[in-house]
């Protein structure tokens, strides 16, 4: 039965019903690039049901046929060891997409083919996208995709996603596959293992009343046409058999729940016999045997169908030469730090160019609002709009150019391939302090925003590594803290702004290293598992990619300013204006009284006045609010800058920045930690961060005073 087409009067008419197609692939194979190229602007982002892993959906039409695309999380295999892998597997088996596109990095085949073979074993209706064809060619790899397609029994398309090459062919292949599904050819293990797999298949068929359904619909292929497939919960029996051998806990559970009581003993006994037969044959655990045999099949396969030309391209040689410096044992790390320092330096030099204009515009608007509403007799509205909203939001938006430029430079470093080298040299350091190499990625993301950083800890397989990493991610200075730093450094450290900023980021990193080291010695004892990292070839970054990425991230910052920060700023204004009759933002206002209550706590740190304490309290909603609150409170006293110069000294300003950097993370981050690790660890993070911030700021201020006098 061909579900996609109807035969009417001998002519085939396509049903216009949309088909669902999933994208799957290892991390960094260009999945996002392919997804974007296929869907253009028709995308929406949400969460997978029940969990907070990002779910991306989009659609495109090809020759009048509508395809809904779902982007599955990046993964190396279909074993359910991480949440991402479970999500992908569940989607394929339960939601039964009409087709699955597996995206493969053609320049890195052996590792990528593991997932492809697992999908083939699962019997999914597959399309293979050989992406990174440009780099495959650079590496001298020759691929015959026609032959490949015949051998695997699936369509194979070549693409260079970031240049949009091959996307139309891919669209065609996808819509063909979605409307005319077929099962890939079956692959056998070497006989020694294959016999056991077939034996388990028979056992399952005999013991469990599964679902028999026709899934093979391929008209050209005589091998599969008309055959029926036996499956349980959408998993084909052959796949179940290999998964049992691989000791997959979910599949063992699945089989257990489906086994009728009277067959259980027989089944378990036979299975145990097969296990011991394999152990006897191979002198290895069955799960190791399956993985090794699968790799052996893949190795032979890659040798056969992908030919390496003798010559290595110029770019490859250049990459080798550059890597000799950038990954150098001793030079690598200092070089990376120099690059980072230059990044911050440039963030200021280039960003500073715009600041004056934006500031001017907001002052003009703010004064205009106050005058306008004043003339109309609505002084309170003038104060709300002029001082509260425009003062608060304006003081944050001023930093948009800095933030955009920071993202721009980081995207360039990432796209060129240099950031991977940074990760590589950092990895050694991470290991030395007891963090897993993969922890680097969540921590790197933490520089953007702690929330995705915390969520990215999922990729760490061991629970211990995961908790340890998510506890230190908030120490990475996220972009929300940047406005605080830029504001204060430009006032108090105008001559060496870049260096002071760099030192703050370093304080965050060094604290993270220190905390991780202590936790590893106390609460999270144990060894760290090793990590093998790939280093892509260097290339010239694509302008479109870099600009698009930086804009997308900056837009998030803008949206936050327009929503949550807007609301907090209004709350600040209200609290600073009430009770009725008090002078706006005076110490008699509700806000003032609240601040006065907490101020003594911060006196030893050098900023014991009420405006600082309320800004820090409101800053727990979102760290930008620290600046927003100060902006709204000092709006009445002329420029924010002038006010701050009266209240702070360079030393107390530095102490204030250190405190803002380290203290309690924002509500969204705490929420993410709670979801990932539970209340206990959230409480722990809350407390230790506050104590750490307090102690360090205290040290900065008190020791600084001794030195400066």
Which has the closest alpha carbon to 351: 487, 481, 547?
487
Judged by CB under 5 A, the stretch of 27-35, 42-50, 596-604, 633-641 that binds Mg ion is 27-35
Judged by CB under 5 A, the stretch of 24-32, 75-83, 283-291, 544-552 that binds Mg ion is 24-32
343 contact, one of ligand GDP, Mg ion, none, CB 5-8 Å limit per kind: none
400 contact, one of ligand GDP, Mg ion, none, CB 5-8 Å limit per kind: none
Q: How far is the CB of 324 from ligand GDP (least distance, A)?
A: 22
Residue 137, CA distances (Å) to 131, 296, 314, 497, 662 in order = 11, 25, 11, 45, 47
Beta bridge partners of 54: 47
Q: Which is nearer to Mg ion, 32 or 175 (CB)?
A: 32
The DSSP result for 244-313, as a single string, is HHTT-HHHHHHHHHHS-HHHHHHHHHHHHHHHHHHHHHHSS-HHHHHHHHHHHHHHHHHHHHEEE-S---
Q: Measured in whole angstroms, how far is the alpha carbon of residue 377 from the centre of its chain?
A: 51
589 contact, one of ligand GDP, Mg ion, none, CB 5-8 Å limit per kind: none
Which has the closest alpha carbon to 383: 371, 397, 398, 396?
371
Q: How far is the CB of 31 from ligand GDP (least distance, A)?
A: 3
Helices 650-662 and 679-708 pack at an angle, to 10 degrees, of 170
Q: How far is the CB of 52 from ligand GDP (least distance, A)?
A: 18
Q: Which pair of tokens denotes residue 240?
A: 């179940």
Q: Which is nearer to ligand GDP, 134 or 387 (CB)?
A: 134
Q: Which is nearer to ligand GDP, 32 or 450 (CB)?
A: 32
643 contact, one of ligand GDP, Mg ion, none, CB 5-8 Å limit per kind: none
Q: Are 215 and 229 in contact, with CB atoms under 8 Å apart?
A: yes
Q: Which is nearer to ligand GDP, 199 or 315 (CB)?
A: 315
Distance CA 690, CA 533 (A): 35
Contact flag: residue 611 with Mg ion (CB under 5 A): no
Helices 482-492 and 400-416 pack at an angle, to 10 degrees, of 110
131 contact, one of Mg ion, ligand GDP, none, CB 5-8 Å limit per kind: ligand GDP
183 contact, one of Mg ion, ligand GDP, none, CB 5-8 Å limit per kind: none
Q: Which is nearer to ligand GDP, 27 or 704 (CB)?
A: 27
CA-CA-CA-CA torsion sign (638, 570, 565, 600): positive
Q: How far is the CB of 78 from Mg ion (least distance, A)?
A: 18
Beta bridge partners of 160: 165
Q: Which is nearer to Mg ion, 72 or 224 (CB)?
A: 72
Q: How far is the CB of 531 from ligand GDP (least distance, A)?
A: 17
Which residues, 6 or more positions from 435, have their beta carbon under 8 angstroms from its beta carbon?
465, 468, 469, 472, 516, 520, 528
Residue number with the smallest Cβ distance to ligand GDP: 30
Q: How far is the CB of 351 from ligand GDP (least distance, A)?
A: 24
Q: Which is nearer to ligand GDP, 431 or 539 (CB)?
A: 539
Q: Are 634 and 389 in contact, with CB atoms under 8 Å apart?
A: no
List the interface residues with Mg ion, window 337-366 (CB under 5 A).
Answer: none
Q: Which is nearer to Mg ion, 465 or 549 (CB)?
A: 549
162 contact, one of Mg ion, ligand GDP, none, CB 5-8 Å limit per kind: ligand GDP
List the interface residues with Mg ion, window 30-49 (CB under 5 A).
Answer: 32
132 contact, one of Mg ion, ligand GDP, none, CB 5-8 Å limit per kind: ligand GDP
Q: How far is the CB of 409 from ligand GDP (least distance, A)?
A: 15
82 contact, one of ligand GDP, Mg ion, none, CB 5-8 Å limit per kind: none
Q: What does DSSP assign to residue 160?
A: B
Q: How far is the CB of 429 from ligand GDP (least distance, A)?
A: 24
Which has the closest alpha carbon to 94: 50, 40, 52, 132?
50
Residues in contact with ligand GDP by the rule CB under 6 A: 25, 27-33, 74, 131-132, 134-135, 160-162, 415, 539, 545
Distance CA 291, CA 246 (A): 8
Q: How far is the CB of 480 from Mg ion (least distance, A)?
A: 23
Residue number with the smallest Cβ distance to Mg ion: 32
Q: Which is nearer to Mg ion, 83 or 277 (CB)?
A: 83
Beta bridge partners of 236: 231
Which has the closest alpha carbon to 474: 668, 307, 342?
668
Q: Which is nearer to ligand GDP, 26 or 79 (CB)?
A: 26
Q: Which is nearer to ligand GDP, 118 or 135 (CB)?
A: 135
The count of chain residues that interact with Mg ion, using the rule CB under 5 A, is 1
Question: Radius of gyration (Cα) for the chain, nearest Å?
Answer: 30
What's the residue count for the chain? 709
28 contact, one of ligand GDP, Mg ion, none, CB 5-8 Å limit per kind: ligand GDP
Looking up tokens 């085939």 gives 12
Q: Using CB under 5 A, list all residues that contact Mg ion.
A: 32
């Amino acid at each position: 039965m061909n579900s996609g087409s109807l035969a009417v009067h001998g002519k085939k008419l396509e049903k216009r019903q949309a088909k669902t197609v999933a994208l799957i692939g290892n991390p960094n194979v260009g999945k996002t690039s392919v997804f974007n190229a296929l869907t253009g602007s028709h995308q929406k982002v949400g969460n997978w049901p029940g969990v907070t892993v990002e779910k991306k959906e989009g659609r495109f039409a090809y020759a009048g046929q509508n395809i809904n695309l779902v982007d599955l999380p990046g993964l190396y295999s279909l074993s359910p060891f991480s949440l991402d892998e479970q999500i992908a597997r569940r989607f394929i088996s339960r939601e039964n997409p009409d087709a699955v596109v597996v995206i493969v990095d053609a320049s890195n085949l052996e590792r990528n083919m593991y997932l492809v073979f697992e999908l083939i074993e699962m019997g999914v209706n597959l399309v293979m996208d050989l992406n990174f064809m440009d780099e495959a060619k650079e590496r001298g790899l020759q691929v015959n995709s026609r032959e490949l397609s015949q051998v695997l029994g699936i369509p194979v398309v070549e693409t260079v996603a970031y240049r949009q090459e091959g996307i139309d062919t891919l669209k065609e292949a996808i819509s063909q596959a979605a409307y005319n599904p077929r099962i890939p050819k079956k692959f056998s293990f070497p006989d020694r293992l294959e016999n056991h797999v077939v034996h388990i298949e028979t056992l399952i068929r005999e013991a469990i009343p599964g679902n028999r359904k026709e899934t093979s619909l391929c008209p050209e292929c005589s091998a599969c046409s008309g055959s029926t497939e036996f499956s349980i919960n959408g998993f084909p029996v052959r796949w179940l058999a290999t998964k049992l051998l691989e000791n997959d806990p979910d599949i063992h559970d699945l089989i257990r729940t489906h086994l009728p009581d009277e067959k259980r003993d027989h089944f378990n006994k036979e299975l145990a016999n097969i296990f011991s037969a394999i152990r006897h044959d191979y002198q290895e655990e069955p799960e190791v045997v399956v993985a090794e045999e699968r790799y052996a099949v893949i190795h032979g396969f890659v040798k056969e169908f992908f030919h390496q030309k003798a010559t290595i391209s110029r770019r490859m040689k250049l990459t080798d030469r550059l890597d000799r410096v950038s990954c150098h044992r001793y030079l690598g790390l200092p070089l990376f730090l120099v690059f980072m320092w230059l990044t911050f330096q440039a963030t200021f030099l280039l960003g500073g160019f715009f600041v004056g204009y934006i500031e001017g515009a907001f002052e003009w608007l703010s004064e205009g609002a106050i005058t306008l509403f004043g003339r109309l007799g609505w002084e309170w509205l003038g104060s709300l709009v002029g001082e509260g909203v425009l003062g608060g939001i304006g003081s944050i938006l001023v930093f948009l150019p800095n933030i955009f430029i920071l993202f721009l430079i980081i995207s360039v470093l990432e796209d060129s391939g240099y950031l991977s080298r940074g990760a590589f040299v950092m990895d050694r350091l991470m290991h030395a302090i007891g963090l897993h190499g993969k922890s680097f990625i969540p921590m790197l993301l933490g520089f953007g925003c702690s929330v995705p950083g915390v969520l990215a800890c999922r990729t760490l397989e061991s629970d211990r590594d995961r908790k340890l990493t998510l506890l230190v991610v908030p120490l990475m200075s996220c972009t929300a803290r940047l406005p605080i730093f830029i504001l204060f450094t430009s006032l108090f450290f105008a001559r060496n702004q870049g260096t002071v900023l760099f030192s703050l980021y370093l304080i965050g990193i060094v604290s993270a290293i220190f905390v991780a080291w202590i936790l590893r010695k106390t609460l999270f004892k144990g060894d760290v598992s090793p990590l093998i990292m790939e280093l892509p070839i260097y290339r010239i970054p694509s302008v479109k990619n870099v600009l698009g990425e930086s804009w997308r991230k900056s837009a998030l910052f803008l949206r936050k300013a327009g929503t949550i920060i807007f609301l907090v700023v209004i709350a600040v204004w209200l609290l600073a204006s009430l009770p009725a009759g008090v002078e706006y933002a005076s110490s008699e206002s509700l806000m003032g009284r609240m601040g006065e209550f907490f101020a003594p706590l911060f006196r030893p740190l050098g900023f014991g006045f009420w405006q600082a304490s309320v800004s820090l309290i409101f800053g727990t909603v979102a760290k930008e609010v620290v600046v927003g609150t100060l902006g709204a409170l000092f709006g009445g006293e002329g420029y924010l800058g002038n006010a701050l110069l009266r209240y702070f000294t360079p030393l107390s300003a530095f102490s204030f920045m250190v405190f803002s950097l380290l203290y309690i993370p924002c509500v969204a981050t705490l929420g993410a930690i709670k979801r990932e690790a539970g209340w206990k660890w959230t409480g722990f993070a809350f407390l230790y961060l506050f104590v750490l911030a307090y102690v360090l700021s205290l040290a900065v201020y008190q020791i600084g005073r001794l030195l400066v006098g």
